[in-house]
Amino acid sequence: MHVVYGLVGLKTHCKVSMVVRQEGEGIRRYMHLATGNYNANTSRIYEDLGMFTCDESIGADATDLFNYLTGYSTKQEYRKLLVAPVSLRKKLEKMILREIEHAQQGRKAHLIFKLNSLVDPNMIQLLYRASQAGVKVDLLVRGMCCLRPGIKGVSENIRVISIVGRYLEHSRLFYFHNDGKENIYLGSADLMPRNLNHRVEVVFPVENKDHVHYLRQRVLDTYLKDNMRARVLQPDGKYNRIIPEAGKDAVDVQEKFMS
């Protein structure tokens, strides 16, 4: 959705659709939530992720969201959806701080974020704090990245990779290891002030264990192993293209998923 309803000055950037059906004596809500536009042209060249669900809490949240957009509600709390500018920044910060706490308690801690852009100063500082606490941070950032990885004492536990290939990498994915109780969120928001403060965005949880496993082990792991399209950001701000090591299989994430 790219229109402004009741929220003057805010671009509506979330990607949510809902069908409400009467079934028996009640109603049932069917939702599709996505990371990319409902656009037949860009869908041919953009990489994106989407989820169909009948989850009752997400359905109630989607209803509240549409009422919020049309001015029928001033909803500030949602059951499962993270909504900007209402709660998204606060909830993401809370989950990053939780990962920092795990690391400080000697537990395994790992963040993987896949984004278009990372420029928000507060989020960058929080990721630096995570690195300094011992959290492993992998960032897949296609475009602008104002964070500098690999600086001793600041960001030495952070790696930034950009994938540039046939398709425009467009999905946003947030992974939190959470001491083995993994959480994954998908959505429309980059870590930019405009997305967190000045747009209506939705980031939604993936709760099915099989889906979480697929996104972590098949999708994210393949991105992190790419040695054909990947460029790694250096501490000086330059990107070095990864060259496959002798004897190792070539991994092209876009070719793999396309095939």
Catalytic residues: 13
Task: Give the H or E element holding residue 159.
Answer: strand 158-163
Residue 36 contacts by C-beta under 8 Å, 6 or more apart in sequence? Answer: 15, 42, 43, 46, 48, 49, 50, 170, 171, 188
Query: What separation in angstroms does the CA of 72 have from each of 79, 86, 216, 255?
Result: 18, 16, 38, 46
Phi, psi (rounded to 5 degrees) for 97: -60, -35
Enter the tokens of residue 140.
Answer: 């897949």
Three state DSSP letters for 38-102 = CCCCHHHCEECCEEEECCHHHHHHHHHHHHHHCCCCCCCCCCCCEEECCCHHHHHHHHHHHHHHH
Mode of pairing for the β-strands spanning 16-23 and 110-115: unpaired
Return the DSSP state at 119. Answer: -
Distance CA 242, CA 234 (A): 12
